[in-house]
Structure 1
């Protein structure tokens, strides 16, 4: 009996969602009866790759999504269904452009160097009306809504249900809060190996949307869904360990920043490749309304626009809140969970290999005094600039994989062209009377 068949028998699972995440982060799945899962586990579920955001054509052979039984998650809100992520195979060969495979390859590359990357993410989202055109709580109007006690309790049923499920799954959730925008929330759970975190991040987005729908609401991770309010970040906390996961190789108590030489080099790689990474960490047109935004209603965007790092200072792209780890504050809610982790590892390993220097630590308030920093690189202003930065970074493209990089650049340029072809209300309003 296959692993998944045994899992079904033991846990009362009737169906499996055999799932993959495409290049744009969309989750694709087939609902497979438990009686048929053994065959899928052996050979994969067949998909037409062109029908999702992958660089394929209708003439391509079947994309076979082969389940990873060690990553299966039973749906707490519908326990007769289990979700299982996959790796892609076509014509007997791995599909190099598929995000989970890109991440697995980089995890293996880090392991060859005796390194085990562990990460945690802070996923922010809005709870909107079903139509998605307004925040769902009409009483959530505070000028400074962050950590609003009353507002979080008005959405207790949704937030507590999601947190209960994470507790049930053993993820170690440890805090939930109302965030800096009206209608916005953040939920945190324990850090883990990069692939585990990516799988959980992917499932979390699915779970939050499903629970919100159950309560008659709409959840969105869109970077900037409401004009004038703080956007959805997806901050990543990064540390690197030995292969046994027992010794933090980033930690050095004798260093003023609490980071070892290898930790500083990994950080140096993030700094060196940040502009190119942005097309992955901030992958949609709307992303650049968050990281290049004017001051929000609360008084701060909480998002960077320059490549700088600091100690425990949230106004920089990277902060070092404590010894042995750092926080990358660049990513937003649209980032692909697998590509986010892959880009972090790729840039960090490139930094170690190049013995990269992260540059000087800055301790100023970048929101008020950033104009005084004249030598810090600016982050891309739009999606096209971000694509061009990635395309021009031969090192990062090679680390991420040439097949993936070519496919991603191609589809992102198509997305940009689609955006340019859109006739906006702004154009009509500002140009009709010329």
Structure 2
């Protein structure tokens, strides 16, 4: 039974609700609705023009309505009179097939039909930069190996602690915060949960981090590679699959060297099989490929993959198995859409289980030093265009995510690539002006 948002408003002293949805490019869209009108919005939805967002629609499309999910409402810890509530998109009383949250709910339901409950956690990395975006905000944060830098972390204590306090207040069970491998870069971790819960929290986390940074006169960016020579921002995803009750880890096996069950290997096989195609989702921007195909950084390592390989507890591969019953996908970056990210992983994992996909040979080498010696390991796409082509060629992946979504996503992303390709750069002038 759906919760009554008007009652929630009365009980918690909420004056306004932000009815929010995430479009295909990961942009968050919202309407601010007074509590006095929330009952009507909960019944009929908040109206939007789909064309005005990054959805594959025209100005001639009918009204699109965002139906708030009251079970997922979040009261803003820093502005308690406002509540954020994620929404599902509806048009003419039908779910919008290209709506990212709808896509995730659809693949979660497919998993449930097989008695499977996917649980995930994300490691969301971000930079704290100057308000105008010009550079790193902390000029003292200049070490060549800044990862876990104690002094730099404490100079940003006010921002990081405030965000962590809010996560504790919201019941997310945060457990560690650190300065990451690039100057000005941070990571904050909270406990894993059901994939939809994680996606909603990931979406809200990005909004919260940006809001708190602005409050402190800074700017937070999840851009994959904002600075050349520095490590980019990943969004590693930890994945495990449980029984319907969520009490038994179906990936776990005490009889296997890696602690993975046959079903766990098949799910992993699906990831490996479709890696080149899902890159268009997990690494969705032109800038994404500056991260996964980067030369060595100032710190000495990119901490990102460029080949489709897996291993044990070794961070130089696309997938690592850090412990029994789970694995970590290290491919995604900070630009990934929180909902499409989860949906793509689950979709290819389920396909892997269905087809009994083999993940291939485990490699226990340092890929950064010896990757060139590996034979037959597919390379990840070199750029967004290659990723879109790989996605378009992956018929199983497109069908699993829905053909309507897939065509819409490809159309808009090709437009983005064409816009980039038509852009004249300073590099072109520097290299070819005198030819």
Q: Establish whether TM, by shorter chain, passes 0.5.
A: yes
Is 1:102 aligned with 2:103?
A: yes
1:290 is matched with 291
TM-fit CA distance, 1:421: 1.0
Q: Which whole-Å CA distance do the structure 2 matches of 1:190 and 1:287 have between them?
A: 26
Please report how far the alpha carbon of residue 317 of structure 1 lies from its aligned counterpart in structure 2 after TM superposition.
0.1
Q: CA–CA distance in 2 between the matches of 1:228 and 1:275?
A: 25
* SS of structure 1 residue aligned to 2:122: strand
Count, aligned residues: 434
Contact kept in structure 1, 2:202 and 2:338, CA below 8 Å: yes
Partner of 1:220: 221
Give how far 1:33 is off.
0.2
**Distance in 2 separating the partners of 1:325 and 1:357:** 16
Shift of 1:234: 0.2
Q: Is the 8 A contact 1:2 1:41 kept in 2?
A: no
Residues 3 and 71, structure 2, Cα contact 8 Å, conserved in 1: no
Instruction: Give 3-state SS (helix, strand or coil) of 1:290's partner.
Output: helix
Q: Aligned-pair distance for 1:49? A: 0.2
**2: CA distance between counterparts of 1:27 and 1:339?**
13
Unaligned runs of 5+ in 2: none
Residues 2 and 38, structure 1, Cα contact 8 Å, conserved in 2:
no
Once the two structures are TM-superposed, the CA of residue 2 in structure 1 deviates from its matched residue by: 6.2
Q: How does 1:149-160 map to 2 (within 5 A)?
A: 149-160=150-161
TM-fit CA distance, 1:303: 0.2
Q: Tell me the distance in 1 between the aligned counterparts of 2:92 and 2:303.
A: 46
1:270 corresponds to which residue?
271
Give the Cα separation in 1 of the matches to 2:291 and 2:419. 20
TM-score (norm 2): 0.99
Give yes or no for the alignment of 1:28 onto 2:29.
yes
Cα distance per residue 1:302-322 (max 9 Å; x no partner): 000000000000000000000
Q: In 2, distance between residues paired with 1:353 and 1:97? A: 24
- Number of the residue aligned with 1:169: 170
Q: Is 1:92 matched up with 2:100?
A: no
Match of 1:409 in 2: 410
**Residue equivalent to 2:73:** 72
SS across alignment from 2:321: strand
Deviations 1:100-146 (A, max 9, x none): 00000000000000000000000000000011111000000111100
Aligned equivalents of 1:41, 1:308: Cα separation in 2:
46
Q: Deviations over 1:41-66 (max 9, x none)?
A: 11100000000000000000001000
| Alignment match, 1:40 | 41
Deviations 1:183-236 (A, max 9, x none): 000000000000000000000000000000000000000000011000000000
Structure 1 position 432, deviation (Å)? 1.2
4+ runs deviating over 6 angstroms: none
Counterpart contact for 1:224–1:286, Cα < 8 Å: yes
Aligned partners of 2:3 and 2:70 also within 8 Å? no
What does residue 300 of structure 1 align with? Answer: 301
- State the match for 1:17 in structure 2: 18
Deviation, structure 1 residue 16: 0.3
- Output the CA distance in 2 between the equivalents of 1:49 and 1:372: 49
**Quick one: distance in 2 between partners of 1:39 and 1:109?**
31
Contact 1:17–1:81 (8 Å) recurs in 2: yes
Counterpart-to-counterpart distance in 1, 2:191 and 2:9: 27
Structure 1 pair 15–384 and aligned structure 2 pair: CA distance change class (3 A): same
Confirm whether residue 375 of structure 1 aligns to residue 376 of structure 2. Answer: yes
1:198 aligned partner: 199
Rounded Cα–Cα distance in structure 1 between residues aligned with 2:105 and 2:211: 27
RMSD: 0.7
8 Å contact from structure 1 (residues 275, 386) kept in 2: yes
For 1:267-346, what aligned pairs fall within 5 Å after superposition? 267-346=268-347
Given that 1:251 and 1:258 are in contact with CA atoms closer than 8 Å, whether structure 2 keeps it comes out as: yes
Give the distance between the partners of 2:64 and 2:21, measured in 1 at CA: 11
| Equivalent position of 2:185 in the other structure | 184
Q: Which residue of 2 aligns with 1:117?
A: 118
Point out where structure 1 has 5 or more consecutive residues left out of the alignment: none
